[in-house]
Amino acid sequence: MKNVLRRNINVLLVVFIILFVALIGYLWFVTSTYGERWFVTPYNPRIQNMQTTVNAGDIYDRAGRALLYTKGGEREYISDKGRRTAVSHIVGDGFGLTYGAQTNFAKYLYGFDKNAFSRIEDLVSGNERQGSDIVLTIDAKLSEAALDALGDNRGAIVVMNYETGEILASVSSPNFDPKDMSLFLDGGGESELVNRAFVGLYPPGSIFKLVTAAAMIENDLTDFTANCEGSVVIGGQEIACWDVHGDIDLAGAISHSCNVYFAKAADVVGVREINETAQAFLFNKQLLTGDVIMGTSVYEMTTDETNAAWSAIGQYHDLITPLHACMIAAGIANDGVMMAPKLLLEVVDGETVTYTLKPTTAATPMDDTSLLKQMMLDCVQNGTGSNAAIDGYIIGGKTGTAEIAGDEENAEHAWFIGFVQDEQHPIAIAVIIERAGSGGSNAAPAARKVLAAALDIGY
């Protein structure tokens, strides 16, 4: 009887040990494999629960300014409201209503990046877990300048380092104050919580002409010339230009943003070729990186010649996010190498740096962008982008004035994308101002202000 009991106890012990090992194995597997993915949804209740059991880490900008920190067990945002709202889409809110750093990098802030042993140790010992601090790539001061450049308008501005992909500023207007989310928690508000810079899909208008021009370069069609009499009829439909350009070549058509030239070029290049180049520039591709969640830009191949002409000048069904538009300008400036957008510069656990940003390539759409680059420099020197020029610097760019399908009554969206050609200042920018009209008159001056602010800071 005694032996039988002992044997049963031994059997139970073995079973428990197996279960315990299995449990540890399971915890290990789940936290190391799925930990990151669980956190990528802001609706994850674990994040909410963690807020009471973990001393969450602080969030800093690249200059070391605290944007969100834990003080006496409470999460505190910076007191300066202008700065707080300028970075609100990037830092995010504490209720999981937005995809900011608080959600996207929760695994670091709540200590889930630490190894499974130390986590289980914390769990067993009942120690309060200390999350890691994170340093973002953004500059809060530059973010304020970018938000200021948008004024009272709706829109977005993104500034990137085109050699590394680091996002130096990304603002979206209207925005929200993470200190007071009551309006949104009650289900109110309009589109303040939407980060237009990352997920806003806009018709690109004339900034898409860079892609059509790239397709022409890739297919040896740079000699194509056209005559612009102010409009052209394609497939029975009139496509108007904003001016009468006369005989015009590819470089002139980019610099002066000639619709007639590119509408005619569409048939010469072909939608298949434009589609191939658009895909190389990451249209129709899901751009999900660990750092950034962004919308998917659209180029739709069509056999209809009118629509094909419209799509070559950035209308028809073409759509793009401001961040992607910035990546295109950045890729052209960076000799055909599009860097993946990055937001996380460093993770610091106590005194130890546990993560440092490593630049990665998102795509290499072209081997040689020197022609496109030259055309963009001309556009700012002599063309529609002249309002983006800054004394003492070489600026390249492309304007866009995008019509909104089904809403021809209101003003168009104003676009400018561009870059500083300077190894010491590898900055690219995208500006969209909703319903502001001409890109050259409205978006280019905003770009100039923000680029000047970035250069002034030293980027």
Residues of this chain that interact with Zn ion (CB under 5 A) are 228, 241, 245, 258, 260
As a whole number of angstroms, the distance between CA 234 and CA 260 comes to 10
User: Between 196 and 245, whose beta carbon lies closer to Zn ion?
Assistant: 245
The residue among 265 and 451 lying less far from Zn ion, judged by its C-beta, is: 265
Smallest gap from residue 208 Cβ to Zn ion (A) = 16
Nearer to Zn ion, 129 or 245 (CB): 245
Q: Is the dihedral of CA 226, 396, 450, 97 positive or negative?
A: positive
Give the shortest CB-40-to-Zn ion separation in angstroms.
46
Minimum separation from the CB atom of position 441 to Zn ion (A): 17
- State the minimum distance, in angstroms, from the CB of residue 283 to Zn ion: 24
How long a stretch of residues is the chain? 459
Instruction: Evaluate whether 89 touches 146 at the Cβ level (below 8 Å).
Output: no
Q: What is the residue type of 390?
A: I
Q: Are strands 66-71 and 74-77 parallel, antiparallel or unpaired?
A: antiparallel
Measured from the CB atom, is 141 or 245 closer to Zn ion? 245
Nearer to Zn ion, 245 or 448 (CB): 245
CB of 229 to Zn ion, least distance (A): 8
What is the C-alpha separation between 114 and 129, in angstroms, rounded?
10
In whole angstroms, how close is the CB of 241 to Zn ion at the nearest point? 3
The DSSP code sequence of 176-234 is: --TT--HHHHTT--SSTTS-HHHH--B--GGGGHHHHHHHHHHTT-TT--EEESSEEEE
Report in angstroms how near the CB of residue 261 gets to Zn ion at its nearest. Answer: 6
Closer by beta carbon to Zn ion, 248 or else 292: 248
Nearer CB in complex with Zn ion: 230/359? 230
Residues 6+ away with beta carbon under 8 Å from 382: 255
Closer by beta carbon to Zn ion, 137 or else 257: 257
Q: Which is nearer to Zn ion, 241 or 265 (CB)?
A: 241
Q: What is the 3-state secondary structure (H, E, C) of 303-360?
A: CCHHHHHHHHCCCCCCEECHHHHHHHHHHHHCCCCEECCECEEEEEECCEEEEECCCC
Q: Cis link prior to 359 (omega < 30° from 0)?
A: no
Consecutive H or E run containing 370? helix 370-382
- Over the Cα atoms of the chain, what is R_g? 26
Residue for token pair 């999460």: 75
CB of 219 to Zn ion, least distance (A): 22
Tell me the closest approach of the beta carbon of residue 232 to Zn ion, in angstroms: 9
Q: Tell me how far apart the alpha carbons of residues 300 and 63 are, in angstroms, rounded to a whole number.
A: 42
Strand partners, 416: 399, 431
